[in-house]
Every structure is written in structure tokens, then in C-alpha cells.
Amino acid sequence: MSSKNTDKKLVGQPIFKQIIDFVPQAKFERLVHQHHADRYYKTFDSWTPLATMLFGILSCCDSMGKVCDELRGLEGKLNYFGMDKSPAKSTAGDGLRGRGRGIFQGCLLYAIGTAYSTKF
């Protein structure tokens, strides 16, 4: 009797993972430290709002509720985004409002520089 393999494995990397890899987490952590972005947040690190915003933009979501609902639907695959779980709507909204924009500006500039220096 053969046993069925129930592990879901994706072949290759999802496109979102390829895009988010333009900003390595080590570089992003340096930006977080430089801007003191996680100073008031103990469990909602800066990477989660970044991944949440990028996912919302790329999936054409028009509200934070829709973004969080869509992420909740991908619960088993959030490790590709560097996230453990989908943020709650209120947590995501408060986390984005309370952080300064310097960290995200630095992240964007780094990603643009990385994209321009990459030869396709």
C-alpha cells in the first residue's frame, strides 16, 4: 500500500518572494536599528509591515482588512514572506501608523539600487 505525500511544496519560488528578496533581511535589520523602528514594538517587528504593504500593493488590495484576509488565506505559505503568521487588521494598521517613514524610504532606495545593479 502506498502512502500519499500530503506535504505541499512549491516548485521554484513565488514571484512575491523573488521581489521581496531585493531587500535582504540583514540589510533591513540594519535600517531598523538605525531608525529605532522597533523601539515600541515587542512582537510586531518591522519586517511584517513591510511584507504586508508589499503584498497589499502587488495583490491590488484596497483596504487593510482585505490585505489581512488574503494573508490569512495563505497562512501555510507565509514563510516565503519571512512572516510567521498573518497580522490582525488592527495590529497591522497601528504598526504602520506608528512607525516613521525613514525605514521604508531607506528600504525602497536600497531595493531600487539593487534592481538597477542586477543584470537580467
Three-state DSSP string of the chain:
CCCCCCCCCCCCCCHHHHHHCCCCHHHHHHHHHHHCCCCCCCCCCCHHHHHHHHHHHHCCCCCHHHHHHHHHHCHHHHHHHCCCCCCCHHHHHHHHHHCCCHHHHHHHHHHHHHHHHCCC
The percent of residues above 70 in pLDDT, for the chain, comes to: 88
Question: Would you list the domain boundaries of the chain?
Answer: 15-30+48-117
The percent of residues above 90 in pLDDT, for the chain, comes to: 12
Whether pTM > 0.95 for this model: the answer is no
What confidence tens digit (pLDDT) does each residue in 42-88 have? 788 888 888 898 899 989 999 999 999 999 988 888 888 888 888 88
